[in-house]
Amino acid sequence: MLDRIGEIFKETCEQMDCEMLEFNGEDDHVHFLIAIPPKHSVSVVAGKLKGKSSYFLREEFWPELKTRLWGNHLWSPSYCSVTCGGAPLEIVKKYIDD
């Protein structure tokens, strides 16, 4: 399922002129590094990623997901966004990979 989330995120980023630079996750959360152009806000991109992935994952993985929802939601209503303008991208990518 994690691979499918990565595919959906990558496709969504491309559709929004964003660039997904790194992606990884665990059973209950994901980490990813994306470059977002100034025409988009972080909240809009996060909403699109969560919404589209929720739709497709429910369609494709419902038996595995139905016991893991936040109420009736696949994703938590919150997210964490951190800028990394001063950090070398290789360090951020390594953090996400590990």
Question: Would the pLDDT of 86 be above 90?
Answer: no
Question: Would the pLDDT of 77 be above 90?
Answer: no
Q: Give the domains, in start order, of the chain with CATH numbers.
A: 2-97 (3.30.70.1290)
Distance of CA 25 to the CA centre of its chain: 9
Provide the whole-model pTM.
Answer: 0.85
Contact 50, 69 (CB under 8 A): no
pLDDT digits (tens, 9 = 90+) for 11-56: 999 999 999 999 999 878 899 999 999 999 999 999 999 999 999 9
Residue 95's pLDDT is what? Answer: 83
Residue 13's pLDDT is what? Answer: 97
Collapsed DSSP state (helix, strand, coil) of residue 43: helix
Residue 69's pLDDT is what? Answer: 82
